[in-house]
Amino acid sequence: MKRLVLLVLMVLGVLATAKPVVIGITQIVDHPALNAARDGVIEALRRAGYIEGQNVQYIITNAQGDFSVAIAIAQEFRARGVDLVISITTPSSQAIVQVFKDTNVPVIFSAVTDPVGAGLTGYPNVTGASDMIDVRADVEILRKLVPGLKRLGQVYNPGEANSAILTEMTKKACAELGIELVVAAANGTAEVPLAAQSLVGRVDAIYCTTDNTVAAALDAIVAVSKTNKIPFLFADPTSLERGVLICTGFDYFDHGILTGEIALKVLQGTPPKDIPFVRQAGTQVWLNLDAAEEMGFKFSAEAKSLATGLLFGGKRFVKE
């Protein structure tokens, strides 16, 4: 009995003095969806017993939309000897993989549109979660919500691999559905307002995918949409309160939970190479009735029947 008690005390002593797991978390820009994904990762690990300040330390960073800064962050993580990296978004994940591909440090990507196309697969220390959206479904929703839709505008950053891929998917969907796509490139957040303004008078609606540059300057597109009464669909439900008329996509907190669960498997000993990357499920459709009233836009009863939920009076209501 004494030996058992001594053994238990020794184990508890080791746990009490064990070095916390150091996890680097990085994202390309600061906006609600990515912040929600980050918070979801931390919550998933907290539920599993990883408590910050006790047995885990997080190094949380933001590249402010600059890929060279994303590379510098990756190099800093490596220099500091992190035990695991969570990279949120395609650009941040590309930077992390570039720096960590020849190491044994696990890299778990999150909010990556096309891991294969972005060159993030095939490394034994890399896995994660994809937030690939259903572009054709989004365009079809817009066609139902905006009667007579013939010309669709899209603001995107051609320098973002994820956005370039989704824009090509949009072109294909529009061609198949008989809709003309008018694209407006923005190579940085400062160019988003002008790109959005260039669509005025040329399109019947605006559609933006999970483009990080667009998300960081979303208010500029919302302003153009409202001022010129152009319906705007953005593929991110967390942006509904920012004045977007229609939002589709995933709950990014849930996406973070999914990513965190993958990280947990790795922390528990499963090699990343044995964990195939996963795709997020559960697309939502949200209609902003406040924005619609401000723009003088009317959602039909059929349109409302397609929705997951509505924003009215500044509050969300989930349809039953």
> Using one digit for the tens of pLDDT, what is the confidence trace for 214-241?
999 999 999 999 999 999 999 999 999 9
pLDDT at position 306 is 87
Residue 90, phi then psi, degrees to nearest 5? -65, -50
DSSP 29-97: S--HHHHHHHHHHHHHHHHTT--BTTTEEEEEEE-TT-HHHHHHHHHHHHHTT-SEEEEESHHHHHHHH
Domain ranges of the chain: 20-131+251-279, 135-249+283-318
User: With respect to CATH, is domain 20-131+251-279 assigned 3.40.50.300?
Assistant: no
Secondary element (H or E) of residue 289: helix 289-295
Contact, 8 vs 16, CB < 8 A?
A: no
The DSSP call for residue 19 is P
Do the domains 20-131+251-279 and 135-249+283-318 sit in the same CATH topology, yes or no? yes
Cβ atoms < 10 Å from Cβ of 103 = 12
Quick one: pLDDT band at residue 10, thresholds 50, 70, 90?
very low
Q: What's the topology of domain 135-249+283-318?
A: Rossmann fold (3.40.50)
Whether 2 has a pLDDT exceeding 70, the answer reads no
Compute the average pLDDT of residues 135-150. 94
In angstroms, the CA 107 to CA 128 distance is: 8
Whether 249 has a pLDDT exceeding 70, the answer reads yes
Q: Cα dist. 314→287, 290, 319 in Å?
A: 12, 7, 16
Q: Dmax of the chain from CA atoms?
A: 84
In angstroms, the CA 110 to CA 90 distance is: 8
Tell me: the pLDDT tens digits for 145-176? 998 999 999 999 999 999 999 999 999 999 99
DSSP 110-142: EEES-TTTTT--S-TTEEEEE----HHHHHHHH
Looking up tokens 């896995």, which residue turns up? 127
Report the SS3 class of residue 316. strand
Whether 313 has a pLDDT exceeding 90, the answer reads yes
Mean pLDDT (the chain, rounded): 93
Whether 13 has a pLDDT exceeding 90, the answer reads no
Whether 269 has a pLDDT exceeding 60, the answer reads yes
Provide the edge-to-edge strand list for the sheet that holds 151-156: 180-185, 151-156, 205-208, 232-234, 246-249, 284-288, 309-312, 315-318
Q: Which residues, including other chains, have CB under 8 Å from residue 195's CB and lie 6 or more apart?
A: 155, 184, 185, 186
93: nearest Cα among 124, 122, 66, 71: 71
Give the CB-side neighbour count of residue 50, counting CA atoms within 13 A.
Answer: 21
Quick one: pLDDT band at residue 302, thresholds 50, 70, 90?
confident
Whether 8 has a pLDDT exceeding 60, the answer reads no
Looking up tokens 């066609």, which residue turns up? 143
Whether 24 has a pLDDT exceeding 90, the answer reads yes
The DSSP call for residue 306 is T
Report the SS3 class of residue 217. coil
99: nearest Cα among 89, 107, 109: 107
State how far Cα 255 lies from the chain centre.
8
Beta bridge partners of 129: 278
Q: pTM value?
A: 0.86
In angstroms, the CA 118 to CA 115 distance is: 5
Whether 14 has a pLDDT exceeding 90, the answer reads no
In angstroms, the CA 26 to CA 83 distance is: 14
